[in-house]
A and B are shown apart, each in its own frame.
Chain A
Amino acid sequence: MEEKNNKKESILEKLGNSSVWKSIFRSGVPRTRRQRMYAVLGNVFLHLHPARLPRHAVKVGYTWCMGGLSFFLFVVLTITGILLMFYYRPTVEYAFTDIIDLGEQVPLGIMREIHRWGAHAMVLTTWLHMLRVFMTGSYKPPREFNWAVGVILMTLTLLLSFTGYLLPWDQLAIWAVTVGTNMARATPFLGSEGPGASLLAIGDINLVHAASDVRFALLGGRFVGEATLLRFYVLHCIAVPFIAMIFMAVHFWRIRKDGGISGPL
């Protein structure tokens, strides 16, 4: 009798009931309601989600999937970014030629394309996510704070994209970054051409000048150059993603703590 039952078991089930599988996923192939809930609860990645959701929450027409896609793009960009880092050297001497090599020498060289278009797409998906959250009124209490965290994450996405813009070290890159960072010169009090900067002086020695203002700190020099490339590289690959990950953790955790996905009462 028992042998017959074993024969009916599919390969998937056999695998699912094996001791190795069970040691990793703790439950077998989820068949019953209970097992399916346990599959979510017992998995570190899936337990971002609750085990059960209201029916409207799984409808693409309601969520547009944009928040999830933004996170997915962050993962895609991290992976392609790591691959790009194997080949790319952030120096004025090598940066541009390394980028050319990425397309011409590296097999299946579309990593840079996926990285760049993914970055643009991520800006769009975060914007659309924000639009959806606004249009469904999902920022209203008790989710006010999480909306603010989302705004910060969107700003960080723009900063990630902007710092990455410099790395190819072509004309497009340095001039876009020059235009962008020139603004810092006009920061009130802290920029050399900002209102109030001349007030920060000892006698007639200005404390804030072109070689000491926020723009200088951002660029590591008076112009977009070698030091800027290194600074933006570190910001792009380590500093901003690190900050973004902290805010993402808060963002996701707060969705659950604020009562899960929004919905009509």
Chain B
Amino acid sequence: MIETIKHTIDYISAPTISFTLITVLFPLFFPPTDFFDKLNRKLRIYKIWTNAGGLILFTLISIFFYMGYTDPNFKIILMKGDNFPIVLMIYTMFFFTWYAMKKSYINDARIEEGKKPTEWHDPEDKVLVWPDLVYIELIALILFMVFLIVWAILVPAPLEEPANPAATPNPSKAPWYFLGLQEMLVYFDPWLAGVLFPTLIIVGMCAIPYMDINKKGDGYYSFKERRVGYFIFMYGWLVLWIYLIVIGTFFRGPNWNFFGPFEYWDPHKLEVLNNVNLSEYFWVIGLGQPLPQNILVRESVGFLVTGLYVFVLPVVLAKTILKNMYKAYGPTRYTFLMILGLSMLSLPIKMYLRWIFNLKYIIGIPEWFFNI
């Protein structure tokens, strides 16, 4: 029985399945449009943002970690000192997402009734910082320090063998907070996954207030008034960042192969690598010719596809389904939003191209280190 559950969890945690599941289910949990909102209400998914829902969520995560703790394979990974922050991360991210959503739904209901959000108080009725805030800060600080000291006493800081440049561990992993980026390396070359995307993430994060022109929902928890922005941010945050970190930490073993949480990290596990470039698909498989000698001719299809995605798609969107948005945003803001949005979307797109077509590179010019 337990074994079957473990095998099932191993099976569905494979990125192909878990990523698809999360992506398909995500709009049901954070409905960005009326269509998904109706589905959400029909299936009563919103009930997850109540105390009962939170308790179920908490229990499920705890059962998973308990199973992990009692499993010989998962225990090795779980008990690594530096992996404890990730357990903490999973709990806190779930808790605070749940907590904020719970508050948002309460506020949404109040606003619908024409009431002010729960955070609202009479602006004349102010409290004094001394002592009303200072003592809260003091308590928070003491409790947190106690927690930190207990953590420090119970868990020794990890220290492995002395550094040895000749012995590369397998797998070599970056610190846990960068494992989302390292996971991207499976799908993109380092110049994208390690340099361009991190830069775009920082720029894109800074740009959020300038891209979100919805004035509603400032200063209180709310979902309904800003559901599209909320959906995009939460997808980027919970799926493209947190989920990828979890994958990178718990599910990537030797040679960066995928291993289910309850699977033994076999260093000899072989994965068939038969990834094919778009140019090979086009010239060799499609037209039955050898690859052209000229690099630009060889990669012309890739350039065409990338050009269509980057330059033509935003224009088409602006004239069709995003017409109103383009009007509201104006050309400059719209262009920036498209650059950031299309870059973000390119990750799931490339993931699926890899999984379905074994596509290695859309543009593959290793001669110039220019691979997309």
Q: CB distance A161 to B175 under 8 Å?
A: yes
In the complex, residue of chain B having the shortest beta-carbon distance to the beta carbon of A229: B163
Binds A, one of B138-146, B270-278, B335-343, B344-352: B138-146
Q: CB distance A56 to B121 under 8 Å?
A: yes
Q: CB distance B195 to A169 under 8 Å?
A: no
Chain B neighbourhood of A174, CB < 8 A: 163, 165
Shortest distance between the CB of B300 and any CB in chain A (Å): 18
Q: CB distance B190 to A100 under 8 Å?
A: no
Q: CB distance B156 to A136 under 8 Å?
A: no
Most chain B CB inside 10 Å of its own CB: which residue of A59, A123, A135: A135
Q: CB distance B162 to A169 under 8 Å?
A: yes
Q: CB distance B129 to A144 under 8 Å?
A: no
Given A49-B133, A55-B125, also A148-B209 (CB < 8 A): yes
Report Cα–Cα, A58/B139, bound state, in Å. 13
Q: CB distance A187 to B191 under 8 Å?
A: yes
Q: CB distance A198 to B141 under 8 Å?
A: no
In residues 186-201 of chain A, which contact B (Cβ within 8 Å)?
A: 186-188, 191, 193-198
* Residue interface mask A90-111, B partner, CB < 8 A = 1: 0010001001100100000010
Indicate the size class of the contact surface on chain A: 35 or more
Given A117-B157, A194-B369, also A56-B92 (CB < 8 A): no
Report Cα–Cα, A50/B129, bound state, in Å. 7
Q: CB distance B190 to A46 under 8 Å?
A: no
Instruction: Tell me if B212 counts as interface (CB < 8 A to partner A).
Output: yes
Given A39-B130, A134-B233, also A139-B209 (CB < 8 A): yes
* Residue interface mask B328-372, A partner, CB < 8 A = 1: 000000000000000000000000000000000000000011100
Instruction: Tell me if B290 counts as interface (CB < 8 A to partner A).
Output: no
Q: Which one of A49, A178, A183 contacts B194 once the chains associate, using CB atoms below 8 Å?
A: A183
* Residue interface mask B47-73, A partner, CB < 8 A = 1: 000000000000000000000000000
Q: CB distance A68 to B140 under 8 Å?
A: yes
Q: Which one of A138, A184, A185, A187 contacts B219 once the chains associate, using CB atoms below 8 Å?
A: A138
Instruction: Tell me if B155 counts as interface (CB < 8 A to partner A).
Output: yes
Q: CB distance A121 to B85 under 8 Å?
A: yes
Q: CB distance B121 to A55 under 8 Å?
A: yes
Q: Which one of B132, B163, B194, B208 contacts A96 once the chains associate, using CB atoms below 8 Å?
A: B163
In residues 136-167 of chain A, which contact B (Cβ within 8 Å)?
A: 136-141, 143-144, 147-148, 151-152, 155, 158, 161-162, 165
Report Cα–Cα, A123/B88, bound state, in Å. 11
Q: CB distance A136 to B145 under 8 Å?
A: no
Chain A neighbourhood of B368, CB < 8 A: 195-196, 198
In the complex, residue of chain A having the shortest beta-carbon distance to the beta carbon of B123: A54
Shortest distance between the CB of B186 and any CB in chain A (Å): 14
In the complex, residue of chain A having the shortest beta-carbon distance to the beta carbon of B141: A72
Chain A neighbourhood of B168, CB < 8 A: 175
Q: CB distance B152 to A114 under 8 Å?
A: yes
Instruction: Tell me if A265 counts as interface (CB < 8 A to partner B).
Output: yes
Q: CB distance B177 to A186 under 8 Å?
A: no
Instruction: Tell me if B35 counts as interface (CB < 8 A to partner A).
Output: no
Q: CB distance A224 to B165 under 8 Å?
A: yes
Binds A, one of B112-120, B291-299, B310-318: B112-120
Chain B neighbourhood of A136, CB < 8 A: 100, 219-221
Chain A neighbourhood of B202, CB < 8 A: 151-152, 155
Instruction: Tell me if B1 counts as interface (CB < 8 A to partner A).
Output: no
Chain B neighbourhood of A65, CB < 8 A: 136-137, 140
Report Cα–Cα, A242/B79, bound state, in Å. 35
Shortest distance between the CB of A263 and any CB in chain B (Å): 4
Q: CB distance B140 to A118 under 8 Å?
A: no
Report Cα–Cα, A161/B157, bound state, in Å. 14
Q: CB distance B145 to A186 under 8 Å?
A: no
Q: CB distance A170 to B219 under 8 Å?
A: no
Given A135-B104, A173-B163, also A140-B175 (CB < 8 A): no
Given A113-B157, A148-B206, A176-B175, also A170-B163 (CB < 8 A): yes
Binds B, one of A6-14, A16-24, A30-38: A30-38
Chain B neighbourhood of A56, CB < 8 A: 119-121
Q: CB distance A147 to B209 under 8 Å?
A: yes
Shortest distance between the CB of B145 and any CB in chain A (Å): 7
Shortest distance between the CB of A147 and any CB in chain B (Å): 5
Binds B, one of A124-132, A232-240, A248-256: A124-132
Chain A neighbourhood of B130, CB < 8 A: 30, 36-37, 39-40, 46, 51
In residues 179-233 of chain A, which contact B (Cβ within 8 Å)?
A: 179-180, 182-188, 191, 193-198, 223-225
Given A131-B237, A137-B219, A147-B206, also A171-B161 (CB < 8 A): yes
22 inter-chain pairs at a CB distance below 8 angstroms, sorted by A residue, are A46-B130, A51-B128, A54-B121, A58-B136, A96-B163, A110-B149, A123-B85, A131-B97, A132-B100, A134-B208, A137-B217, A140-B209, A141-B209, A143-B209, A171-B167, A174-B163, A175-B173, A176-B172, A182-B190, A186-B194, A193-B369, A263-B119
Binding site for B on A (CB under 8 A): 30, 33, 36-37, 39-40, 46, 49-62, 64-65, 68-69, 72, 76, 92, 96, 99-100, 103, 110, 112-118, 120-121, 123-124, 127-128, 131-132, 134-141, 143-144, 147-148, 151-152, 155, 158, 161-162, 165, 168-176, 178-180, 182-188, 191, 193-198, 223-225, 262-265
Given contacts A33-B128, A52-B126, A184-B195, 5 further A-B contacts (CB under 8 A): A52-B128, A113-B157, A136-B220, A140-B212, A263-B219
